[in-house]
Amino acid sequence: MALNVYTASAGSGKTHTLTREYLRLALASDNEKAFQGIQAVTFTNKATAEMKERIIEELHRLSVEPKASPFFKELTSALSVTETKLKERATKTLRALLLNYTDFRVRTIDSFFQEIIRSFAHELGYSGNMRLELDAKSIIHEAVVEVLADQDTSKASNSSVQSWITSLAEESMESGRGYRIEQSMSNFALQLEVEAVKLLRQNHSFPKKEDIKELQEELKTIIDELRKKTLELCHEIKAIFDELKLPQSEYKRGNNPISGIIECIKAGGDILENPSKGFYCDQSALPKLATSEDPISVLFSKEKRKEHEAIVAPKLPDIISLIEKFRELCHSDEGKKYMTAVTIYNYLGLYGLLIDIDTKLQELKQTEGTMLLADAPSLIASLLKDVQTDAPFLYEKIGTRIHHHMIDEFQDTSTMQYGNFRPLLQNAMAEGSDCLIVGDSKQSIYRFRSSDSSLLTTTLARDFPKEIKHQSLKENWRSTPEIIEFNNKLYPLLLEQIKSIFKDQIKASYSNEADPNREALEQSLQTLLSTYTDIEQTVPKQKAEAKGLVALYTYTGKKTNKKGDEEGQEEARSEDDALSQLPHTIIDLQRRGYRPNEIAILVRERKNAAAVAEALQSFPREELGEYSLDFISQDALSVSNSPYVRFIIAALAYIGKGESDLQLAILEEAYGQLLMSGGKQATPTPLPENILLELQTIGRRGLYEAAEAIIHLFHPVLPEGEDAYIVCLLDMLYSWEAEQTADISTFLDYWDEKGASQTIVTPTNERALTLMTIHKSKGLGFPVVLLPDLNWKLDENAGKDKILWCSIEGKDLPTRYAKSIPSVPIRYSAYLQHTYFAGEYYEEQMHSTFDALNLLYVATTRAKEELHIWVKKESDTSSNKNSSSTSLGTINRLFARKLDDTPLRELLIDGIANLQEDTPTTSAFPQRTTATKATPGEDTLRISSITSYPIIRRISVLRKGLEYFTEEKQRAYGHTMHLILSEIKTGDDIDTALEHAVSEGNILPEEVAQLSKILQEIISTPECKHWFDGTGQVRNETPILGGGLKGSKRPDRIVFYDDAHVEIIDYKFGHYDKHYTSQVREYMQLVQRMGYNDVRGFLCYIDQKKVKVVPVSLPNSSAKS
């Protein structure tokens, strides 16, 4: 029995090793079904498919011609069998595997966990038709909505929950994140998916709300007491200076010497302005006043000194004494305790809210019979408490017994996942079976998904001290010698810099070498550094003669106005020069013999992929010649990147959200962008009225057809190359309409939340480059790799809402809470340097830095033949900023930073093609010496146009219906005419009212002429003419309220004239009815009660042939008729 642990650096033949070990175990005996007792677990579907394919391919090769297999010698030696015997076993095993393919247990870790969960559904309290949910975010949001809804009911309303919600609202407003409480709660509630919180739930360690409330109150007391002391000191200092009655201009350089004191008072006694500016006590002239031997010179210039010294000198002892007390308070343990209390207090109330949301989440999952896939590890852990009894029971439930476990990419395993595998590994080895683990801690880039590379580097050795056998795969079979040498040289240099940075930070924060916190951090740093002890790789003999190159370009970056810009935007602009070089480099590569599909561009994030995509797409086509800059990408080709798609969405919003001025402005802006993207000048005038009316008409159609109609209407301005985006949007609309609803507004909500981020699927194409994020490139290799942007942060969490879960034990706080509240949420920021959580802060910062380094390692090891890297030039000041600052900076800055007065990039030049020109030239690099054959069958079918059934011949959706084509035609006709007349104040409004009726689906376009004739007849009738000539003030369909009325009365038309008389008109579209007269009289009486004495009433009978007006008078009234 053995636990074989292989450390597999990039390109070292990991898949070869896994396949060999699987075959060794499957062919170890004459039992052709031995493979059923082997389980190989990977982390991606692609890796699973690759491994299955490789195993079956090798079994087939061994069963036909064993010596043709690269594993022949190793297997015959390891199994001590002859060629004939090996062939016989391979033949039987392959046949059994194909006949029992479901027992071929090469699978992803998620599918294995799903299998267990479904087998134990009853034990876990789920029904047999349990539904596994992948999207945790949606169901957590649902739980948040339920918690908020509960607060709207008097029965369920909870004062503590309300106070926590109020706390979240205040914190969101103060931090400038807005007032969307539901969204803020949902974002914070995602902490339920963090492994630290899952462990709390699994161990039933969520604290009681009473304990949270008590700790909250004690922390508030600590905070208030120190702020009170601070304010007293600051007010005393300010009072002394106020007594001097000296204007600010009298002090040195015209600066207020106690501005830090003033700001502290404004802050309510808080002692730290922010981590970059530091404590208030260390601002303005306060430090110098407290330490200078000549404090008067700190306050005044030589000229002013003589004038004020006599008055100020007697006050100085008191001033200095108070400032010293203030500074001592800020920098004391009491100050650190205060800062710690503030840090915990900020999120403690939200912790209680998180518990309420979790309770609601569990209720929802039980009610709906839903289980989150992300919950699987914690649920399985509850089933595997006893190794000896629970593991066999688990195998019994899933219907198979696993003797050998093989785990790939172990560095990406989380603590909880390992906790589930550990008892299975222990059980297997207790029975004398071998297990295999493969991983590389240098390629650990998924810590944001809770992966923990220390499981590979330290935990396995601790848990299996006797069984473990370490082996390291040192040869790199992927890359050429030049790339291997570059990486061997690069990472030790980078590690030296990182080590120096953190050593300085730790030393500055913990001056005492014996401080246990300092020792712990230095040990953590050493552990992380040790993950790169096996960085040096060797070149296999078979590849010793292979030729390749590494190109290191430098660029200056365009200067940008940083004022008001966000940091991410500044970074995107600073790489403009690198992106302008990129197309020329790609063209040169093709000129030297590389096909586009052999070139990969790797970037840090999607936003960087979008910037690269824009640079490639905007390159002048006429300069390409026979070469291609087409690319495939799942990261850059978001459907919302298309200006035409954005315009379609803006048009749908204009239709679905009402034709408001805001929506019209958005639509016209999108239209201008659309014109410019097509190489046309954006029109300075708004969209024409006839186009807007046409859009309103389009609104009568369903969601999908509305989009098609918009495309049809604006097809003349459609830019080239947009078809794939449009097809993707239409697919999205079709699916939404089929599965959800045809309502435009609900789709627009979905678009804002998720739809806009969807990417178009592009097939592999020999004429297309590959553009992807580094995360997605893991496990892949490309002949050429381009890295146009190394300007990503070493500390990626800086400035983000990263939450750490930390223990409060030993933090100089009430110790009785350490057990009842095992850990608390705190926000990761530089603020923590001044608290008792400084150790946790530096620990996280170190891990984040190695995440960035690992990401670079993955990127630089994808290349097979050529690696091209762009490094931004840094000034001497900025490149050495880390030497005197705790700022970590970026990967790019590490390349510019000096080691022994020599920039790192210069140390790398030896043996590397290093280019300094703005644009690479063909003379710099040799022609490619070896070329791979083109892969057949990779031609892409191109769509030249999108056709569909003519829009005008389709059935339309009428929102209000042409009801007068039904049995109650007359009533419907009257309803429609009422709607039209309600929009007419003068004769000039007729055409607009009819157009609107068409757009609303009230009438058909072919009926406009007939109805226009009727309306013209009305306004030209002598008795009616003055109602529409503009001489009176018109109120159409205006309700009359109050006066004891139950509800309201709504006359069709009221006209107020300048001579103080009022005319009330009621339209009728049927035969004369005496009840109509009483209705008008009621209107007249109500208007009289409003203070109008001369009120006249009329019934206006309208049919399609004539108009008749009947006056209405009030009985026994002086009202004229």
Give residue 332's pLDDT.
92
Q: Indicate whether 632 and 643 sit together in one domain.
A: no
Residue 881 has pLDDT above 50, yes or no: no
Q: Indicate whether 364 and 377 sit together in one domain.
A: no
Residues that constitute the known binding site: 8-15
Q: Indicate whether 886 and 789 sit together in one domain.
A: yes
3-state SS, residue 699: coil
**Helical axes 387-398 vs 415-430, angle rounded to 10°:** 100
**Is the residue at 467 inside a domain?**
yes
pLDDT in tens, 653-662: 888 876 677 8
pLDDT in tens, 965-990: 444 555 677 878 888 999 999 999 99
Give residue 970's pLDDT.
59
Q: Which two tokens stand for residue 391?
A: 């593991």
d(CA 320, CA 765): 75
Residue with tokens 């059923």: 36
**Is the residue at 267 inside a domain?**
yes
Q: Indicate whether 501 and 513 sit together in one domain.
A: yes
**680: domain range?**
639-757
The whole-number average pLDDT for the span 1009-1018 is 89
**Is the residue at 820 inside a domain?**
no
Q: Indicate whether 272 and 198 sit together in one domain.
A: no
Give the sign of the dihedral formed by CA 290, CA 292, CA 294, CA 297. Answer: negative
Q: What is the CATH number of the domain that holds 1103?
A: 3.90.320.10
Query: Which of 289-293, 855-859, 1001-1005 reaches the highest mean pLDDT?
Result: 855-859
Cα torsion at 1026, 1032, 1038, 1042 (round to 10°)?
A: -120
Q: What is the CATH number of the domain that holds 509?
A: 3.40.50
d(CA 615, CA 1113): 78
d(CA 616, CA 782): 19
Give residue 961's pLDDT.
45
Distances (CA, A) of 969 to 586, 1100, 1103: 70, 19, 13
Domain count, the chain: 6
Give the sign of the dihedral formed by CA 209, CA 211, CA 212, CA 218. Answer: positive
**Is the residue at 825 inside a domain?**
no
Residue 381 has pLDDT above 60, yes or no: yes
Q: Nearest-CA neighbor of 447 among 523, 355, 504, 528? A: 528
Q: Indicate whether 397 and 249 sit together in one domain.
A: no
- Mean pLDDT (the chain) is 83
d(CA 226, CA 232): 10
**Is the residue at 812 inside a domain?**
no
Q: Which two tokens stand for residue 810?
A: 């030993």
Place 1028 in a pLDDT band, splitting at 50, 70 and 90.
very high
Residue 566 has pLDDT above 90, yes or no: no
Residue 1031 has pLDDT above 50, yes or no: yes
Query: Which residues lie closer than 8 Å to 374 by C-beta, 6 or more apart?
Result: 136, 193
Q: Indicate whether 405 and 495 sit together in one domain.
A: no
3-state SS, residue 421: helix
* Ranges 467-471, 934-938, 1078-1082: which has the least confidence: 934-938
**Is the residue at 976 inside a domain?**
no
Q: Indicate whether 499 and 624 sit together in one domain.
A: yes
The whole-number average pLDDT for the span 694-704 is 79
Q: Which amino acid is at 1008?
A: V
Q: Which two tokens stand for residue 472?
A: 């390291």
d(CA 972, CA 991): 21
Q: Which two tokens stand for residue 668?
A: 């016209």
3-state SS, residue 381: helix
Cβ pair 488, 860 in contact under 8 A: no
Lateral strand order in the sheet of 105-108: 105-108, 38-42, 404-407, 435-439, 3-8, 468-473
Residues that constitute the known binding site for ATP: 8-15
Q: Indicate whether 905 and 794 sit together in one domain.
A: yes
pTM of the entire predicted model: 0.77
**Is the residue at 1001 inside a domain?**
no
Termini Cα distance of the chain: 111
* Helical (H) or strand (E) element with 354: helix 333-368
d(CA 492, CA 551): 19
Give residue 1071's pLDDT.
76
How many alpha carbons lie under 13 Å from residue 246 in its C-beta half-sphere? 23
Q: Which amino acid is at 348?
A: L
Place 176 in a pLDDT band, splitting at 50, 70 and 90.
low
Q: Nearest-CA neighbor of 571 among 904, 848, 918, 892? A: 892
Q: Is 827 exposed, middle or buried (0-12, 13-18, 19+ CB in 10 A)?
A: middle
Q: Which two tokens stand for residue 1052?
A: 């069709």
DSSP output for 1034-1055:
EEES--B--TT-SS-B--SEEE
Q: Indicate whether 515 and 577 sit together in one domain.
A: yes
Q: Indicate whether 669 and 621 sit together in one domain.
A: no
Residue with tokens 């002890």: 533
Q: Indicate whether 906 and 787 sit together in one domain.
A: yes
